[in-house]
Amino acid sequence: MPVEMMKNVACFKGVCTVEEAEPLLQWLQDQQRAKVKLKECTHLHTAILQVLMAAKVMVTLPPDDPDLARWLMPALKNRR
């Protein structure tokens, strides 16, 4: 499982694919203060990205992958 969902922290690893989006969304719907760790994530599918953006989750550990972090983090910080 590239996305491991625990009590209120979800841990992303490697390439996170489209099928993780729905379980993640359900998990986020039940969470008041969800946090995500993206440290070991190398890519996440657009579907996951938009779920994270919509839920305005807090990223506690940005991706180590500099390329991913560069494009992803502004989108996740930008709370419109």
Partner 1 sequence: MSPLLAQFIAESRDQLEMTSAGLLAIENNPEDLDKLNEIFRAVHTIKGSSGLFEIRPVTILVHAAEDLLDTLRSQELRLDRRMIDLLLDAFDQVNQWLDVLERTETLPDEFETTARTLSAPLRAFLGNRPSEEAAPAIAAPTFADLDWLGQLLEDDRAILYARLAGTGARLTLFRYTPDAQCFFSGEDPFHLVRQAPGLELLAIGPTEPWPPLTEMDAYQCLLCFEGVASGPFAELATLFRYVPDQIILLETPPEVLIVPTGRHDADADYTGFVAEARSLVDQEDWDGLRGIVDALLEHSEPEAWIASALRWLRRLLDQSAADMTLRPLLEAMHTQQGPDWLAILRASAEEAGGPTAAEFHASTAPRALTVVEHKAFQHIIAEQSRILEMPVAPEAWTGRLLSICAVIGNSLRYAGHDQLLEELEELRETARETRDSGLLRGLLAQLAEAEEDDRAENTPAAATAQKTKPTEEPAGGEKQAIKTLKIDQHKVDRLMDLIGELVVAKNSLPYLAQRAERVYGNRDLAREIKEQYGVINRIAQDLQSAIMQVRMMPVGHVFQRFPRLVRDLSKKLDKKIQLIVTGEETEADKNIIEGLADPLIHILRNSIDHGIEPPEERLLLGKPEDGSIRVKAYQDNDSVAIEITDDGRGIDVAAVRDKAARRGLVSAEQAETMSDHDAIQLIFAPGLSTTEQVSDISGRGVGMDVVRTSIEKVGGTVTLHSQPGKGTDLRLTLPLSMAVTHVMAVELDNKPLGVPMDLVVETVRLPPSAIYSIKHREAFMLRDQLVPLARLRRLLNMSEPVASDAALAILVVRVHGENVGIVVDDFREGMEVILKPMEGVLGSLRQYAGTALLGDGSVMLVINLKELI
* Spatial separation of the C-alpha atoms in residues 2 and 61, rounded to whole Å: 16
Residue 58 in the binding site for partner 1 (CB under 8 A): no
> How many residues of this chain bind partner 1 (CB under 8 A)?
28
Neighbours of 32 (CB within 10 A): 5
Residue 43 in the binding site for partner 1 (CB under 8 A): yes
Backbone angle region of 48, left / alpha / beta, with phi > 0 → left and psi within -120 to 50 → alpha? alpha
Residue 66 in the binding site for partner 1 (CB under 8 A): no
CB-nearer residue toward partner 1: 28 or 59: 28
**What is the secondary structure of 23-46 as a DSSP string?**
HHHHHHHT-SS-EEEEEEEEEE-H
Residue choice 6, 8, 14, 50 for contact with partner 1 (CB under 8 A) = 50
Residues that bind partner 1 (CB under 8 A): 15, 17-19, 21-22, 24-25, 28-29, 43-47, 49-51, 53-55, 67-68, 71, 74-75, 78, 80
